[in-house]
Chains A and B, each alone.
Chain A
Amino acid sequence: MIGRHRHCIALEDYSREEILEVLDLALSMKEVLRRPLKKVPTLRGKSVVNLFFESSTRTRSSFEIAAKVLSADALNWTSTGSSVSKGETLLDTARNLEAMRPDVIVVRHAASGAPAFLARHVKCSVVSAGDGAHEHPSQGLLDCFTIRERLGSLSGRTVAIVGDISHSRVARSDLHALGKLGAAVRVCGPPTMIPQGIERLGAQVFHDLQGAVAGADAVVMLRIQHERIGDPLIPGAREYSRLWGLNAWKAAEWLKPECLILHPGPINRGVELSSDVADGPRSVILDQVENGVAVRMAILYLLAGSGATGEGSAREKASA
Chain B
Amino acid sequence: MGDRPAMNAEAIGRAVGRMAREIVERAGREAGDLAVVGIRRGGVHLAERLRAEIARATGTRPPLGTLDIALYRDDLAERGRAPVLGPTDIPFPVQGRTIVLVDDVLYTGRTVRAALDELVDFGRPRRVWLAVLVDRGGRELPIAADFAGATAAAAEGEDVLVRLVEGGAPEDVVVVRRRGS
Closest-CB distance, A295 to chain B (whole angstroms): 14
Alpha-carbon separation in the docked complex, A84 to B90 (Å):
53
State which of A36, A70, A308 has its C-beta within 8 Å of the C-beta of B122.
Answer: A36
Alpha-carbon separation in the docked complex, A301 to B105 (Å):
27
Alpha-carbon separation in the docked complex, A39 to B117 (Å):
11
For B42, B83, B103, the residue with the greatest tally of chain A CB atoms inside 10 Å of its CB is: B83
Say yes or no: is A302 at the interface (Cβ < 8 Å to chain B): yes
Verify B159–A319 contact, CB threshold 8 A.
yes
Contacts between chains A and B (CB distance < 8 A), count: 90
For B42, B82, B103, the residue with the greatest tally of chain A CB atoms inside 10 Å of its CB is: B82
Alpha-carbon separation in the docked complex, A40 to B42 (Å):
22
Verify A37–B122 contact, CB threshold 8 A.
yes
Closest-CB distance, A311 to chain B (whole angstroms): 6
In this complex, what residue of B is CB-closest to A35?
A: B122
A27-B87, A306-B79, A315-B78 known; A32 vs B107 contact (CB < 8 Å): no
Say yes or no: is A313 at the interface (Cβ < 8 Å to chain B): yes
Say yes or no: is B89 at the interface (Cβ < 8 Å to chain A): yes
Verify B79–A42 contact, CB threshold 8 A.
no
A313-B80, A319-B107, A320-B111 known; A39 vs B121 contact (CB < 8 Å): yes
Say yes or no: is A305 at the interface (Cβ < 8 Å to chain B): yes
Verify A3–B81 contact, CB threshold 8 A.
yes
Alpha-carbon separation in the docked complex, A28 to B118 (Å):
14
Q: Which residues of A have CB within 8 Å of B72?
A: 40-42
Verify B121–A35 contact, CB threshold 8 A.
yes
Verify B81–A320 contact, CB threshold 8 A.
no
Chain A 3-38 against B: per-residue CB contact (8 Å), 1 yes, 0 no? 100000000000000000000010111011001110
Closest-CB distance, A305 to chain B (whole angstroms): 4
Q: Which residues of A have CB within 8 Å of B169?
A: none
**Main SS at interface, chain B:** loop
A42-B71, A319-B105, A319-B107 known; A28 vs B86 contact (CB < 8 Å): yes
Alpha-carbon separation in the docked complex, A37 to B119 (Å):
11
State which of A39, A301, A311, A315 has its C-beta within 8 Å of the C-beta of B82.
Answer: A301
Closest-CB distance, A307 to chain B (whole angstroms): 5
Q: Which residues of A have CB within 8 Å of B85?
A: 25, 28-29, 301
Verify B117–A313 contact, CB threshold 8 A.
no
A28-B87, A28-B88, A40-B118 known; A313 vs B78 contact (CB < 8 Å): yes
Alpha-carbon separation in the docked complex, A29 to B111 (Å):
20
Verify A31–B111 contact, CB threshold 8 A.
no
Q: Which residues of A have CB within 8 Å of B68?
A: 28
Q: Which residues of A have CB within 8 Å of B121?
A: 35, 37, 39-40
For B80, B88, B117, the residue with the greatest tally of chain A CB atoms inside 10 Å of its CB is: B80
Alpha-carbon separation in the docked complex, A31 to B108 (Å):
28
Verify B105–A2 contact, CB threshold 8 A.
no
State which of A35, A42, A312, A320 has its C-beta within 8 Å of the C-beta of B108.
Answer: A320
Interface residues on A, range: 35 or more
For B85, B86, B87, B121, the residue with the greatest tally of chain A CB atoms inside 10 Å of its CB is: B85
Alpha-carbon separation in the docked complex, A303 to B71 (Å):
14
Name the interface residues of B62-78: CB closer than 8 Å to any CB of A.
68, 70-73, 75-78
Verify B122–A2 contact, CB threshold 8 A.
no
A39-B121, A40-B72, A319-B42 known; A312 vs B110 contact (CB < 8 Å): no
In this complex, what residue of B is CB-closest to A29?
A: B85
State which of A28, A70, A310 has its C-beta within 8 Å of the C-beta of B80.
Answer: A310
Q: Which residues of A have CB within 8 Å of B167?
A: none
Say yes or no: is B123 at the interface (Cβ < 8 Å to chain A): yes
A28-B68, A320-B109 known; A302 vs B88 contact (CB < 8 Å): no
Q: Which residues of A have CB within 8 Å of B79?
A: 306-307, 313, 316
Verify B80–A311 contact, CB threshold 8 A.
yes
Closest-CB distance, B12 to chain A (whole angstroms): 16
State which of A36, A311, A312 has its C-beta within 8 Å of the C-beta of B123.
Answer: A36
Verify A307–B77 contact, CB threshold 8 A.
yes
Write 15 A-B pairs (CB below 8 A) sorted by A numbering. Answer: A28-B87, A32-B71, A36-B123, A37-B122, A40-B118, A40-B121, A41-B71, A41-B72, A70-B71, A306-B76, A306-B82, A307-B76, A308-B77, A313-B75, A320-B110
